[in-house]
Structure 1
């Protein structure tokens, strides 16, 4: 993966993970899980808009907006009882914030595997993380086609 393709916020998050040892990486992921933003009020009563990420063991749902300036807004729900999944959802929400559709689509698909978490979380969880990114990118593509 080339670092030039990685948006600054995602690169900074990755650097934070790689700067600490294995046990601290899991702790950092748990800290991210506490930072997942609540849904805006306009979406709290509209679960029908959200897509289930079936690859995740936990019930994770996401919705993407692409505004008139082509900026992507990612909204994700994940249960508090699933801190690793919730942590990665938070990483994506924070790391993709303010990016254009082209920048989001350019994020390497293997980004979850580059965080140094392969020893800390199961391969199944890493697949779920990759699926969350993939579905976000898919929704961006669909929104662009509909515009």
Structure 2
């Protein structure tokens, strides 16, 4: 269902991200917040090479909570993208958004990551449960990821 052309919320999304959007739409609005918290708990820890050098990560000032991210683009044929996030446990919404992006985009080809529509965060159906300011934070994360991928693939 990830690339149907009926105007569904998953249209144009890579399969893993489309599945996440489907999961959010499969539950009631109050349960969506719980699902967001689940993604918060599932955010992978930074590997030591970044945990010991947090200055290598880029801040995302659109987020209300301090979050930092970094992308790596492999030299393989697909230019596989790897995502790394640092977000405090006290910021479950921000961590949840980072967890969604990590699960939905990590390991994908650079071209696929660059093609992700900028409105993906609104497709989760959290508009009434999460403030617009917080939703803008996820959009800011995606924008930085895509910019870093563009810069890495242009080099």
TM-score (norm. length: structure 1): 0.96
Aligned-partner SS, 1:39: coil
Question: Which one of 85, 94, 98 corresponds to residue 94 of structure 2?
Answer: 85
Question: Which one of 116, 123, 129 corresponds to residue 107 of structure 1?
Answer: 116
- 1:66 matched to 2:86: no
Aligned residues: 146
How far residue 4 of structure 1 moved from its aligned partner, in angstroms, is 4.9
Deviations, residues 74-106 of structure 1 (Å, cap 9, x unaligned) = 101111111011001000011002201000000
Q: Which has the higher contact order (CA 8 A, sep 6+)?
A: 1
How far residue 47 of structure 1 moved from its aligned partner, in angstroms, is 1.3
- 1:16 matched to 2:23: yes
Q: Which structure 1 segments of 5+ residues have no match?
A: none
Aligned-partner SS, 1:32: helix
Q: Which structure 2 segments of 5+ residues have no match?
A: 1-6
* Bigger share in helix: 1
How far residue 48 of structure 1 moved from its aligned partner, in angstroms, is 1.7
How far residue 43 of structure 1 moved from its aligned partner, in angstroms, is 1.3
Compute the RMSD of aligned alpha carbons.
1.1
2:63 maps to which residue? 56
- 1:94 matched to 2:141: no
- 1:123 matched to 2:124: no
TM-score (norm. length: structure 2): 0.91
Partner Cα distance (1:4, 1:31) in 2: 24
2:85 maps to which residue? 76
